[in-house]
Homo-oligomer: A and B are copies of this chain.
Amino acid sequence: MQARVRGQSRARLSRVDRKALTRERLIESGHAVFIRRGFHAATLEEIAMEAGVTKGAVYSNFEGKADLFIAVVEARTEQRMQGYRRAYREAKDIEALARQHARIMVKDDPNGRWSSVLTSAWAETADDPDLRKKLLDIQVRATSFIGQTIKETADRTGVEFPYPIERLNRMGGALMRGLLLQRLLDPKHLTDQEIEDAFVAFVRGMGRPARGGNTDGEQ
């Protein structure tokens, strides 16, 4: 590709590069609009406008709204994974690790809107097994990645986990989601501190064997 006269405000790009750029922008604006409006109220119109294109461009890059959404979830998940990787350096015991983990999750979804978007999409999967499979795959990958990262950190710092880490991890994510969702209805009631505390309490409680309850017969 030859050097162009000068850097124009709108650079000349190859067709594939421009398409990739448009796709990237749609994913970004999609992310923003889904969070701002919610899964249903987010319109392709607004997403496209915010990316500087028209609705048709969405269909040139994705199969439709659901497909764009999946790309958004994938991108967001990817990004978060990178954040987690950097976050577990200083944790010296299991509770500190848990607290750090909780803190990141809260920071990544401070008002519960992303959790709302995600679970709204989950509701949609009742009639759309393809969507379900894709969203579940992403969650499984993320859970396994986070589990591995935590395990590495735990090993390095000599922390021991009393419970299968992946399971703890998935439960923790689910539970945190519930706490964040509460903020949709009532943004002020649960503080960051309280949410962290609840999560840490859960991890701490899982570390002690259950007593009482009907834990005898069943596996």
Binding site for B on A (CB under 8 A): 38-40, 92-93, 95-96, 99, 113, 115-116, 119-120, 122-126, 132, 135-136, 139, 167, 170-171, 174-182, 184-186, 189-190, 193-194, 196-198, 200-206, 208, 210-213, 215, 218
Q: Which chain B positions have C-beta within 8 A of A120?
A: 116, 120, 123
Q: Smallest CB–CB gap between A178 and chain B, Å?
A: 2
Q: How far is A64 from B185 in the complex, measured between Cα atoms in Å?
A: 21
Contact residue among B132, B178, B185 (Cβ-Cβ distance under 8 Å from A178)? B178
Q: How far is A135 from B185 in the complex, measured between Cα atoms in Å?
A: 8
Q: In the complex, which of the residues A176, A198, A203 has the most CB atoms of chain B within 10 Å of its own CB atom?
A: A198
Q: Which chain B positions have C-beta within 8 A of A200?
A: 205, 210, 213
Copies per complex?
2
Further pairs besides A122-B181, A174-B179: 11, Cβ < 8 Å: A40-B40, A95-B212, A116-B120, A119-B184, A139-B185, A174-B178, A177-B181, A178-B181, A197-B210, A198-B206, A200-B210
